[in-house]
Structure 1
Amino acid sequence: MRQGQHRGLCCGFAQNILVSDSIMTLMLPPKILTDSGLAPWQLRAFVCRFSAVLFYDTMYVSIVLLGLIAFDRFLKILRPFGKFWVQNVTAAKILAGLVWLFFLLLSVPNVILSGEAATPQSVRKCASLKSPLGLRWHEAVNYICQLIFWTVLILMLLFYIVIARKVYESYTKTQKKDNRSEKRIKGKVFIIFTVFFLCFAPFHFSRVPYTLSQTRHTGCRLQRRLFVAKESTLWLAGGGGGGGGGGGGGGGGGGGGGGGGGGGGGG
């Protein structure tokens, strides 16, 4: 019964990750068309105001849910035959719902405050569609999302270090100590963490300077370089996100590779 509840818990988180990754994937075609110059400028306005916001929104939903899967595995290792209140299917549904609600509340103002007149010239830079308050909100949300990502990353690292140690201690009770086994266990844990880091950290390194270039006066050449860096790392994050639903599902086992698009909003 306990094992079935745990599978249901992780499956619930993984299903939410699958939903967020699916939404992210649906938001990719408009972005691809506009970035390649094949779409009319009106579609670019739609991307700036809506689909880019939703893309980022779901990425951070997936990141947080992957962190919750890691947290659940951590609690299961601490208390294999017991249960904390958060390891309850109802609690998991509430947590997942709160994650979606939180990022929705962050992203809605990005849509509302992007109401400046759209023209073929203004849509070249999504920030041009934002009001002064919208620019400040966009910058604030960026910092909030940065804090969320790095917090999840650090916690995941700590969770998986503890998991690796506990698994190895359990192994040594029944098997003769073997350094190769220890290295294998630690290696598997750090592969999960490394994939998560490589998928999302480069984007978060590049996103802050890019956002600042959008909300402050910056030279065109530097702005272009920051845009290229942000877009390149965003595709890496998106690729990691595609694997995130699968990773999270196996993450009933421990964690997953990436997540799909979230709350920051608007290019």
Structure 2
Amino acid sequence: MSNLSAGVDAPEKQCIINDQMGPFTAFYIFIFIFGLPGNLLSVWVFISNPRAKQQQSTSVYLINLLVADLLLLLALPFKILKDLGVAPWNLMVFHCQASAVTIYISLYASVAFLAFIITDRYLQDCNTLRSLRLQEVGFARLLSLVVWLLLLLIMVPNMALPIKQVQEQQYLSCSSLKKDISLHWHTLTIFLCTALFVNASAAVLISSGLALKRLLGSRSDPKLWMNARRATVSVTAVALAYVLSFVPYHVVRMPYTLAQTKVITDCQTKRQLFLGKESTLLLSVLHLCFDPLLFFYLYRPFRETIGKILPCIRKQAVSNPEEQAAQEMMQPTTSAQPEDAV
């Protein structure tokens, strides 16, 4: 059995970097168990609520964010099985070729749509004519389509490009399957997705800064202060979730890519970078558990539907004095604004 079959490469003598996945797998299982019910409930709410068909810009982005979450939920079990070491060889290869790529498609779709939601929340409360144009449903749908097409164009070649045949092994590193052309495209993919993240982060930073500036500038007017405070809290809450979920991962992602492409060859450094990448990826995946709360907070028909199930939530949603006051203030000038906006 010492002779390998033709065309099969022997594993290189190198340190194993993914032999400490037990704690990560436990957290992934936890995220999957707690994220699945909330996202399935979100699907049911969006499908069963007739008002969801009147999609305004906010709901368009929220629905696309939900689609990204569902993709992640579909791909996560394959990662769990591989990391547990119980997946058969063919399933491990399938994860490297398909489900791992799906996880990153979902990740960057979430980055883009969270940035759109934050920007949309600020523009919605700015209440200017230019803002209203940017919040048209057709524009939101077109922007969402562009995001999905762009991500598929960048990511799908990672599924289709040829891979090497390697000897079966307990700890499979997905980069070891890639031929040179596949590894080069993978590196290009990381750079392009990082560029997407930088642009999305710039939109988040600008929207949050403008919301804060508007809040500080309205201190002399109690009515404007209340409206600006509501807008700032809304934007800041989502921006904070964005930062905690995605910034740590991208701090580690580029150095880890250098280890994948053999620019960094020190064994201990590669192990540390891998553990850092997995730890921060875990934070990114954690948004699965919190996105249903985001739907509840930002999408009023969602709250109303849940309120029919849980009367205490219905009472809280209906009797929110700050929200009612803000809506009364905006009513005369926002006939074109989304009816379901917070």
Q: Give the TM-score, by structure 2 length.
A: 0.64
**CA apart distance, 1:59:** 0.9
**CA apart distance, 1:85:** 3.3
139, 152, 155: which one pairs with 2:200?
A: 152
Mapped to 1, the partners of 2:257 and 2:175 lie a distance apart of 9
**Aligned in 2, Cα 1:170/1:6: closer, same or farther, shift over 3 Å?**
farther
**Aligned in 2, Cα 1:122/1:129: closer, same or farther, shift over 3 Å?**
farther
Mapped to 2, the partners of 1:224 and 1:16 lie a distance apart of 35
**CA apart distance, 1:6:** 9.5
Deviations 1:9-63 (A, max 9, x none): 1111101100110110111111011111121222111110000001101110111
Larger Rg: 2
**Aligned in 2, Cα 1:187/1:16: closer, same or farther, shift over 3 Å?**
closer
Mapped to 1, the partners of 2:262 and 2:290 lie a distance apart of 35
Mapped to 2, the partners of 1:182 and 1:70 lie a distance apart of 15
Contact 1:74–1:159 (CA<8 Å) still a contact in 2? yes
Provide the secondary structure at the position in 2 that maps to 1:234.
Answer: helix
Mapped to 2, the partners of 1:5 and 1:169 lie a distance apart of 37
221, 239, 242: which one pairs with 1:193?
A: 239
**CA apart distance, 1:80:** 3.9
Mapped to 2, the partners of 1:223 and 1:17 lie a distance apart of 33
Mapped to 2, the partners of 1:189 and 1:70 lie a distance apart of 6
**Between 152-161 and 169-178, the greater mean CA deviation after superposition:** 169-178
Mapped to 2, the partners of 1:6 and 1:74 lie a distance apart of 21
Structure-to-structure mapping, 1:100-179, within 5 angstroms: 100-121=148-169, 124-167=172-215, 169-170=217-218, 172-174=220-222
**Aligned in 2, Cα 1:185/1:82: closer, same or farther, shift over 3 Å?**
closer
Provide the residue aligned with 1:212 in structure 2. 258
Provide the residue aligned with 1:56 in structure 2. 104
| Structure 2 gap segments, 5+ residues each | 1-51, 301-342
Mapped to 2, the partners of 1:175 and 1:74 lie a distance apart of 17
Mapped to 2, the partners of 1:93 and 1:141 lie a distance apart of 25
- How many residues align? The count is 248
**Between 183-192 and 242-251, the greater mean CA deviation after superposition:** 183-192
Provide the residue aligned with 2:40 in structure 1. none
Provide the residue aligned with 1:227 in structure 2. 274
What is the RMSD of the two structures over their aligned residues, measured on CA atoms? Answer: 3.1
Q: Give the residue type in structure 1 aligned to 2:79.
A: K
Deviations 1:157-212 (A, max 9, x none): 2102212332454564235989xx99998666544323211111111111111111
271, 287, 291: which one pairs with 1:240?
A: 287
Provide the residue aligned with 1:261 in structure 2. none
Contact 1:203–1:230 (CA<8 Å) still a contact in 2? yes
**Aligned in 2, Cα 1:31/1:60: closer, same or farther, shift over 3 Å?**
same
Deviations 1:57-99 (A, max 9, x none): 1110111011112222233333346654332111211111111
**Percent identity (aligned):** 31
Q: Give the residue type in structure 2 aligned to 1:120.
A: E
| Structure 1 gap segments, 5+ residues each | 254-267
Q: Give the residue type in structure 1 aligned to 2:294.
A: G
80, 95, 103: which one pairs with 1:47?
A: 95
Mapped to 2, the partners of 1:79 and 1:219 lie a distance apart of 55
Mapped to 1, the partners of 2:251 and 2:190 lie a distance apart of 12
